[in-house]
Amino acid sequence: MASQERPAGTALADRPGPGWASPVVVLPILAFIVNAGIYYLGTKGYKLSYPINLMGGFSLNVSLTPALESVVLALALAWWSGLGAGAAVVAAIMLYVVRLLVTFGWGFLMGQILAILPLSLLTQSTSFYGPLFLQTAVTGASVLLVLAIYEPAFRAWWPWILTLLIWAAGATVLFMLYHDQVIAASYPWLAHAMRAAGFIVLGCYFRPARA
């Protein structure tokens, strides 16, 4: 793989530089279009997610969003990390499949855990915050794991810490505000914006500082 021939943190030395073509700009815009676009189509009656019932009463929604995000990141690997077309296709498949398997496995595990927890604990208003944070962090880590295979810059700690903080902590805080009725109709759009903010961090590591 072309990306593995460079030392960590030196990717993109020969790729497009700052401006509107920068991954810091392009990736969050594409991510927001994907997430907000699918949400908007869903409000218009288009079925773009398919529930899968798991044990323990847990339901996993298989959505088009992870597939499109995987395509966006694979294109980023091809454009800024110099990945070939064939390798980019494999990367897109891996990004989607690994994320789906991790989501499925985590959902199954949570279903088993929830099945043995007392009802008094499950009915508390704050009982969802922890699982939401962990689920978002785990699925986000699966994305970063695949990116690290192809782009050495993602093998450092900082992109993991910053991205997962934005995705997991951001999603949890927004849900808390929504639950407390601080935000209402704006909640989905803020959630999509928070998701896009994580792609800004990813973009920073697709375009490391040049010498």
pLDDT for res 120: 57
For the chain, give every domain's residue range: 18-206
- pLDDT-derived band at 56 (thresholds 50, 70, 90) equals very low
The string of pLDDT tens digits covering residues 8-26 is 443 333 444 456 678 999 9
In terms of average pLDDT, the best of 14-23, 75-84, 102-111, 178-187 is 75-84
Distances (CA, A) of 120 to 57, 59, 124, 125, 126: 17, 21, 7, 10, 12
> Per-residue pLDDT tens for 121-170?
555 556 678 788 888 999 999 999 999 999 999 999 999 999 999 999 99
What pLDDT, on a 0 to 100 scale, did the predictor assign at position 124? 59
Can you list the alpha helix ranges (DSSP code H) found in the chain? 23-43, 64-80, 85-116, 119-122, 129-150, 157-164, 170-179, 187-206
54: buried, middle or exposed (CB in 10 Å: 19+, 13-18, 0-12)?
middle
